[in-house]
Amino acid sequence: MPLPIGPVLGILSDNLRIRGSVLPLSRSEATGWARGLDIPRGGNTVLYTGLMYQLIPAIDALASQMARFEDSTIARLFGLGRVANKFINLSFFMALTASKEMKQENNQVLRNIAEMLKKAGVEFGYLYKQELYSGALVYDEGMDESFSVHARRVVNVFRENGVRCVITVDPHTTSILRDVYPEFVQDFDIDVKNYMEVLAEKNLPVMHEQNKELVIHDSCVYARYEGMIKQPRSLLANAGITVKGLELSGRSTHCCGGPIESLFPSKAHEIAANRVGQLKEKGEDIVTMCPICQVNLRKAAAGSCHISDISNTFAKAYLS
C-alpha cells in the first residue's frame, strides 16, 4: 500500500510555499560547503547549487522514516499531519536523523566542483544564504501553482543580484531551469550551463592520470532530458579513465528509482536493486552524477560495490 499521496504532496507543497523549500535546511547546512573557498558574493555568473546536494541527507532521512509507515495504519494520519505541519514544521523533526557523513560527502562534491571551475579559470560567484531551491520536485508532482510562484521568487533573486548566467551541479536543477522556467517565468533570459559542460569546454589540464576502469550510471534527466552524455565521458577519457560498456547507458540508461522514493519506497528500492545488479555485472567501481541516484543506488547496494559521485573522480584527476 503506498503512502497517502494527497497529504504527502500537500506537505511538500506547503513547505515550499511557507518555508521556501520542500524540506527544512538551516543556513549553515545550505552554505557550509563554501566555507574557506573565498567565492565572491553574487556576480554576473553564479554557481547555483539549487540546494539538491544539501537537501539529500534530509530527504533520505525523511524517506527512511516514511518507509516505516508504508504498510501501517498510521499512514492514515498523514492528513492530520499536513494540517499540523502548516503551524509546526513536522518535517524538520522527521529529518533530524540526517546522516552527518552524507552531509560532509555531499558538501565535498560542491567543493570539488567549485575548485575545478576556479582552476579552469571560470569567474563565478555564489548567492550564499539568498540561494533558493529550484522547486523541481513540486513541478514533477504536478503542483504547478506552488511551483509557478516559487520559480518567480527564484528568478527575482537572480535578477536582484544581477545574475545573467548560472552554473548548475545536478541534473534536476539543470533541466528545471533550462527547460521549465522559461514556460513559467516571463522573459526568462538567464543562461543555464551545467558544470560538466563548462569544464568539458575548458580543456582542464590533468594533474594525476588515473589509468583505471569504471562504470557510469547515467542520470535519466541528464541523458534523456538534456542529451548530456558526451561531457562526463570526455572528462573521464582525458584523465585516462576507461568507461566500461553497459547496455542500458547513455540515452538508454535505466532509472535508479529515486524519483518515487518519497511516495513508494518499496518500489523505489526494487528498481534500484535491479539497476545495481546491471551495474555490478560490469564492475564494482561505479560513478553517479546525481545525488538522488547516488543515495538510492547505495541503499540498494548495501556496501556490495563502490558508488561515488563523478566529481570525486574528476577531483582526483584534475585537482592537485
Partner 1 sequence: MEKVSSKLAAKLKESEEFNAQACYHCGTCTALCPLGYKIVPRKLFREVMLGLEDKVKESIPEIYSCLLCRMCEEYCPAEVHIAENIRYLRKYINEEVFELL
Residue (104 or 252) nearer to partner 1, CB: 252
For residues 317 and 207, what is the distance between their CA atoms, to the nearest angstrom? 6
Closer residue to partner 1 in complex, CB, 121/142: 142
As measured in angstroms, the least distance from the Cβ of 71 to partner 1 is 14
Q: Are 164 and 212 in contact (CB under 8 A)?
A: no
Give the three-state DSSP class for 65.
helix
Q: Is 70 exposed, middle or buried (0-12, 13-18, 19+ CB in 10 A)?
A: middle
> Could you give the C-alpha distances from 258 to 59, 158, 186, 196, 299, in angstroms and in order?
11, 29, 31, 22, 11
Give CA–CA dist 165/52, Å, rounded: 19
Q: In the complex with partner 1, which residue's Cβ is closer, 50 or 257? A: 257
Task: Output the smallest distance, CB 288 to partner 1, in A.
Answer: 15
Query: Closest CB to partner 1 among 119 and 267?
Result: 267
* Pick 160 or 179: Cβ nearer partner 1: 179
Nearer to partner 1, 57 or 258 (CB): 258
- Cα–Cα separations (whole angstroms), residue 179 to 190, 196, 221: 12, 18, 11
Least distance in angstroms from the C-beta of 225 to partner 1: 7
Helical (H) or strand (E) element with 234: helix 230-238
Side-chain-side CA neighbours of residue 174 (13 Å): 23
Min CB(258)–partner 1 separation in Å: 8
Which grid coordinates are listed for 184?
A: 513559467
Q: Min. distance of Cβ 171 from partner 1 in angstroms?
A: 11
Q: Which residues bind partner 1 (CB under 8 A)?
A: 2, 5-6, 9-10, 13, 139-146, 220, 224-225, 251-252, 254-255, 257, 259-260, 263-264, 267, 271, 274
CB of 144 to partner 1, least distance (A): 6
